[in-house]
Amino acid sequence: MNIKDLITEERNPNTMNIDSMSTFEMVRTINHEDQKVAAAVGQQDQQIARAIDAAAKRYQQGGRLIYIGAGTSGRLGVLDAAELVPTYGIKPERAVGLIAGGKQAMLQAVEGAEDDLELGQQDLRQLHLSAKDTVIGLAASGRTPYVVGSLDFANEVGALTIAIACVPNAVISSHAEIGIEAVVGPEVITGSTRMKAGTAQKMILNMISTGVMIKQGKVYQNVMIGVQPTNAKLIDRACRIISTTTGVSTSEAMTALHNSANDVSVAIIMIETGRSKADARDLLAKAHGNVAAVLQANK
């Protein structure tokens, strides 16, 4: 199929006159189109769940989440990878975003990079890709050569491969173990896939990475216990997390945070079980970092 025939390149009949609309009508029209995104993503719930379960197993074994894409898709992958570090307290090397053309492509397009089948392979080789890793290939059009080449190489290595596209029967889906296709329809501005397609991709990435982190024990109840209290705002958040999940006062939470060496998970277990910091850490290690499992076993 030619690029011009892709649904992401079609003209949207609902926005043919957007250039002559009032500002209010323009905003309302864009919002109406955006409402279609969640429904399209919802059609892929089963595939997204498959991706989470498979990626979580690799991550538990020490593998990495590696996002790879070009243009908007690549930037969204880099963003998701970067945000996992402060949100869940993981090491930067456990979540890596690759974009066609390298770091400079985050701010300015690098001509021809996305059309290079070999470039993605080279980028993954530099990361010493292994079978424990998960490679998430992103392409709104579902056919970007940089992503296709990356997925093919990842398959050869034995890594888990996931493809995220916004067209049906995407090329990249056939090059991945799990294909996710959120078909959001033509864009408000023809071909501007940073809009609905970009929003859909971000939603899917949020679900996958959040799901993987939950399965690593980085979430207790519905709070981020992997948060790193590295500044005043995050120290306050850490104390509130400890306080709300255990019922202790904020001052007691602050003391527990200090005694746990700023480890929210350890602090919660120390409070709830009365164990020492060393014991709490041992219990967490045996439960693969899952606070709920530790507390259930130590009632």
Phi, psi of 178 (to 5 degrees): -125, 125
Helix (H, G, I), strand (E, B) or coil at 56: helix
Reference 160, options 133, 179, 142, 180; nearest CA is 133
Q: Which of 33, 114, 177, 272 is catalytic?
A: 114
Q: What is the C-alpha separation between 99 and 146, in angstroms, rounded? A: 9
Q: Which of 10, 25, 33, 83 is catalytic?
A: 83
Q: What is the C-alpha separation between 108 and 111, in angstroms, rounded? A: 9
Reference 286, options 268, 271, 298; nearest CA is 298
54: exposed, middle or buried (C-beta count within 10 Å: 0-12, 13-18, 19+)? middle
For the chain, the residue count is: 299
Q: Would you call 10 a catalytic residue per the annotation?
A: no
DSSP-derived secondary structure letter, 250: H
Q: Would you call 25 a catalytic residue per the annotation?
A: no
Helix (H, G, I), strand (E, B) or coil at 149: helix
Q: Write out the two tokens for 261.
A: 């060496």
Helix (H, G, I), strand (E, B) or coil at 160: strand
DSSP-derived secondary structure letter, 230: -
Cite the active site residues.
Answer: 83, 114
